[in-house]
Structure 1
Amino acid sequence: MPALFLFLLPLLLPSLGASTAEDICIVGGGISGSSTAFFLTNNTAPTPARLRVFERRDRVGGRLATVSVAGDNFEAGGSVIHPRNLHVRRFADLLGLAARDDDEGDDDWLGIWDGGRFVFRTLRPPPPGSSWLRRRLHSLANSLLLFRRYGFSLLRMDSFVQEMLQKFLLYYNGFESRPVFDNVEEMLKWSGLYGLTQRTLQEELIHAGLNSQTISELVTVITRINYGQSVSISGLAGAVSLAGSESGLWAIKGGNWQLAAGLLKAASATLHLQEGIDSISDAGDYYVLKSNKGHEYNCTVTVVATPLDEVNISFTPPISIPPRKMQHTHATFVRGLLNPKFFGLNSVSDIPELIGTMEVPDIPFSSISVLKKHSEHDMTYKAFSRAKLDDSLLDQIFSTREETIRINWPAYPHYHAPEDFAPIILDGKQLYYVNSFESAASAMETGAVAAENVARLIISRLPRAGLLLLSEEDAGGPPEPHMESFAGEEDSRCIDL
């Protein structure tokens, strides 16, 4: 009998080890995955379990990244944070991340281009070092210019955005008054936002009383810059995009990607860089994750925190999610000088610092903005486009190019109305999908809001409370994190999502 037991022991050990697996595995090291890790570890008591995060790239951050042009670093993905992004602002404070110092103010020198001419331009900004009074008068004059062209539609647009924001604020309520949601539809219906996902932005704005000129020019410019899409996107995504045109935007000094890195460190997660997950299989009481490095991991809970639309992960048994396309945004960084003749102008000094475009098929880019002015004849630009800007086209748009860097982002879902939503719980058990909420709206803050709900959902559905481990490294880690609600933090300022 002992000999038979010793013979069977090697066969029994893998099974015994797998059945007691207590790893929590998160696939994706972007803001959604890192936020999920943070909220999980800071709402549970320490127990002997391990939190693993798999990132197929060689860095964390997902769609948060910087690019270096001529020695200067610029945001290449998600680039701005509003002072009232409550989760992201709290993350930055907790992690000790400072705001980047920018020379420019909130007033961009905007030009709206229809492919042949600038149909509208704000005033050229005052020179650096101008007095507060001069800058204030300049801002007032631009407001009057906007009102003269778009009239009371500006107020109606603001009212539309504010109504959406007030509803979104409900997601920061205290836990005692905020349910845990197991599907996106109920999450949106609870806040009163679901209807906005069933109609287009254009339909919503016409219903709100905006005139056609405001929609075809100003609103279109904003949606093309923020989501690379037209006003045919769903109403909620459009409202979030419009909220992103508010003032007071900021970014993390050194790059917004540090939010993800800091949250993973605060969560004491075991990080697997350059290790993508090829398959996820249900083994009964746990999941077997197989990576592109040939490793296998047994996980009691698995969280998919990356869009499944363009990654090749096989699921056993198969999962069912609605088909969804990602909107690719091509970010092109150029050190050089724009060609004024391309824009029908005589001088580079006449070209606005932010060029927004109307929804015209022949326009090859969504926007071009000045990131840094090195001199009157040397600047760094960022261009957004729906397709790659090849060299021949860039040579028409720019008179000189010293350096060119291209990044192709699968940046957001391609929004449409009515929207369909993938399940948050993919298999009815312990397989979760954070990015299902992204079909409502995509941004750093919406990713964090979705992650908090998934973390609470996991905790509520575990057979026992408190699964995660705060590892021994915590003793020397960042300031003690703590998960809490934002009840009572609402004020009269609006939120950019």
Structure 2
Amino acid sequence: MEQRIIAIVFCFLLLQFSPTHSNTVCIIGSGIGGASVAHFLRQYSAAYHPSPSPIAQINMFERKGVVGGRMATVTIAGETFEAGASILHPKNYHAVNYTKYLDLQLKKPKSSDDSLSLGLWDGHKFVYKTFNSKSKLPIVQRLVSLANSIMMFLRYGFSLFRMSSFVEVAVNNFLRYYEGFNSRPVFESVEEMLKWAGLYDLTTQTLGEELVKAGLSPLLIQELVTVITRINYGQSVNISGFAGAVSLAGSGGGLWSIEGGNWQMAAGLINRSDVLLHLHEEIESVSYLGDVYVLNSTQGKSYNCGVTVVATPLDELNIDFNPRISIPPRKLQHTHATFVRGLLNPAYFGLNSLSDIPDLVGTKESHDVPCSSISILKKHENDMTYKVFSRETMTDALLDNVFSTRKETIKINWAAYPHYHAPEKFAPFILDNQHLYYVNAFENAASTMETSAVAAENIARLILSRLSQGVGLSSLDLKRVGRDPSELHTEL
């Protein structure tokens, strides 16, 4: 009886497998990484191998009911705000290109944001506060901004310029990933990718160690730098140097987002890439059977794929891989985002008036501090909408101490990014030496929307290159796919 069942299953599998499966790509995850893989697979294969395409079908699986992954919005007080990945750098060229390609509207910071006040809180008092003005006159705002720049220089000195130089070097090295294919190879490992751009060494030491080496003062590292890393990565200056440089770059000027939500980049790329999207369908097992991957879902369905791409962190998922895969153990840093419509309690901060509380409260690394930051998202007529970042959930009792009034509260627990620890160890891009790929291996270097897109672009090239070499498809000359870097920065 047992042999008969095995024979029936074997015949069923034979009937299911066909040559077309080698041209089917299955992507697990619909965030910016998965959406970017689909986009670049279509772009590169269509441009240089239009008929027949080496990629026939792309299946994408999303366990939730919406696409976007860690890009999501929340609605509070009738308005929509970014709840996850929220800011983009002006030199995030893939994101810039996506925005133009999809005809999305940019949302830039208001000019008044330059005069927003900042306070560094140690759990008992503000150790540093900038000036603020209620005046909306541009000249007053410029004067306040100038006064704050002078005050910051008096406190931190030339270390500010050394910090800027440190970030600039890292950003310029990162820009190499936008070069044309004639000068940029396909990378089979994260280490190789980082070493080529001169970024690998930054992952072997902590940010604190790198900044001491760069000549920054201990005061700047303990205060301003720590505040920035706590806001952007929920961690201290003990994160690795490259992740720290990315975090510091995310505190600069010219930052932007997408009007209506950054998740629209993922949604638009998926729509434009002729993807068969499976929402509410979680993949629970991936089995390689010699020439095809069989993906089984929680819906009781099976899918046959020639190529499988994991575009979601594996660290807290329970996907059963057969044969088993091996990746370095990694913890994810959970960030609790709490959105509150109400008013802060000045007494909690040792102040007498609400107006004395800075617009952005950054915090030092201390056990006495229950949150990483508190920022004003919107000022209403009688109250405000705030966003609070913390490493642990903010209990209602704690929130009632921090806020004098709360009309509406929304709490979100994000498995946001890796918990960085230098020297970093990286999972492989290719998980099984065949066609099982892992976009999020790059996250141990740095985790942003743009780094996900950069890693995804390399994965797409890697897939096409290896398919052409190992599956008998006509060769794709990926060396000639790239354009001049200046063209890449302006259009797709």
Q: TM-score scaled to structure 2, two decimals? A: 0.92
Match of 1:480 in 2: none
CA shift, 1:346, in A, is 0.5
Count of equivalent residues: 467
CA shift, 1:151, in A, is 0.4
Match of 2:449 in 1: 444
Asked if structure 2 preserves the Cα contact closer than 8 Å seen for 1:87 and 1:449, the reply is yes
Partner-residue secondary structure (3-state), 1:488: helix
Identity of aligned residues (%): 59
Write out per-residue CA displacement over residues 358-383 of structure 1, whole angstroms, 9 at most, x where no aligned residue. 001110000000000002x4100000
Task: Please point out which of 173, 179, 189 is paired with 1:183.
Answer: 189
Asked if structure 2 preserves the Cα contact closer than 8 Å seen for 1:19 and 1:286, the reply is no
CA shift, 1:121, in A, is 1.0
Match of 1:112 in 2: 120
- Which amino acid is the alignment partner of residue 418 of structure 2? P
* In 2, Cα distance between equivalents of 1:11 and 1:320: 28
* In 1, Cα distance between equivalents of 2:440 and 2:94: 17
Task: Please point out which of 227, 237, 256 is paired with 1:221.
Answer: 227
Match of 2:485 in 1: 487
CA shift, 1:16, in A, is 4.4
Asked if structure 1 preserves the Cα contact closer than 8 Å seen for 2:89 and 2:249, the reply is no
Bigger Cα displacement from structure 2, 349-358 vs 37-46: 37-46
Partner-residue secondary structure (3-state), 2:461: helix
> Cα–Cα, structure 1 residues 314 and 486, in superposed 2: closer, same or farther, change >3 Å?
farther
Report matched runs for 1:416-455 at 5 Å: 416-455=421-460
Write out per-residue CA displacement over residues 119-176 of structure 1, whole angstroms, 9 at most, x where no aligned residue. 1111104523x13x33322222111111010001100000100111111111111011
CA shift, 1:39, in A, is 0.5
Match of 2:36 in 1: 35
> Cα–Cα, structure 1 residues 290 and 125, in superposed 2: closer, same or farther, change >3 Å?
farther
* In 2, Cα distance between equivalents of 1:127 and 1:265: 45
For structure 2, the 5+ residue unaligned runs are: 1-6
* In 2, Cα distance between equivalents of 1:173 and 1:355: 39
Task: Please point out which of 116, 129, 135 is paired with 1:121.
Answer: 129
CA shift, 1:246, in A, is 0.6
2:99 is the counterpart of 1:92 = yes
For structure 1, the 5+ residue unaligned runs are: 1-7, 469-482, 492-497
Match of 2:151 in 1: 145
* In 1, Cα distance between equivalents of 2:363 and 2:421: 21
Write out per-residue CA displacement over residues 379-429 of structure 1, whole angstroms, 9 at most, x where no aligned residue. 000000000000000000000000000000000000010000001000000
2:52 is the counterpart of 1:53 = no
- Which amino acid is the alignment partner of residue 55 of structure 1? E
Bigger Cα displacement from structure 2, 210-219 vs 16-25: 16-25
Partner-residue secondary structure (3-state), 1:176: coil
CA shift, 1:100, in A, is 2.6
* In 1, Cα distance between equivalents of 2:166 and 2:372: 24
- Which amino acid is the alignment partner of residue 40 of structure 2? F
2:394 is the counterpart of 1:389 = yes
Partner-residue secondary structure (3-state), 1:451: helix
Partner-residue secondary structure (3-state), 1:37: helix
Write out per-residue CA displacement over residues 44-91 of structure 1, whole angstroms, 9 at most, x where no aligned residue. 035372101101011000000000002100000011112221000100
Partner-residue secondary structure (3-state), 2:113: coil
Which runs of at least 4 in structure 1 moved beyond 6 Å after TM superposition?
Answer: 8-11
Match of 1:352 in 2: 358
Write out per-residue CA displacement over residues 233-285 of structure 1, whole angstroms, 9 at most, x where no aligned residue. 00000000000011111111110000000010111101001101000000111
> Cα–Cα, structure 1 residues 400 and 457, in superposed 2: closer, same or farther, change >3 Å?
same
* In 2, Cα distance between equivalents of 1:466 and 1:107: 58
* In 1, Cα distance between equivalents of 2:242 and 2:207: 7
- Which amino acid is the alignment partner of residue 450 of structure 1? A
* In 2, Cα distance between equivalents of 1:313 and 1:347: 52
* In 2, Cα distance between equivalents of 1:219 and 1:174: 34
- Which amino acid is the alignment partner of residue 96 of structure 1? D
CA shift, 1:484, in A, is 4.9
* In 2, Cα distance between equivalents of 1:319 and 1:443: 25
* In 1, Cα distance between equivalents of 2:237 and 2:12: 58
2:310 is the counterpart of 1:309 = no
Match of 1:163 in 2: 169
Match of 1:201 in 2: 207
Please tell me the root mean square deviation across aligned C-alpha atoms, in Å: 1.9
- Which amino acid is the alignment partner of residue 18 of structure 1? F
2:250 is the counterpart of 1:244 = yes
Asked if structure 2 preserves the Cα contact closer than 8 Å seen for 1:459 and 1:466, the reply is no
2:389 is the counterpart of 1:369 = no
Asked if structure 1 preserves the Cα contact closer than 8 Å seen for 2:179 and 2:482, the reply is no
> Cα–Cα, structure 1 residues 435 and 10, in superposed 2: closer, same or farther, change >3 Å?
closer
Write out per-residue CA displacement over residues 418-441 of structure 1, whole angstroms, 9 at most, x where no aligned residue. 000001000000000000000000
* In 2, Cα distance between equivalents of 1:437 and 1:337: 40
* In 2, Cα distance between equivalents of 1:13 and 1:112: 65
Match of 1:64 in 2: 71
Bigger Cα displacement from structure 2, 381-390 vs 135-144: 135-144
CA shift, 1:23, in A, is 1.6
* In 2, Cα distance between equivalents of 1:170 and 1:10: 50
Match of 1:473 in 2: none
Match of 1:402 in 2: 407
Write out per-residue CA displacement over residues 309-353 of structure 1, whole angstroms, 9 at most, x where no aligned residue. 001101000000000000000000000000000001101111001
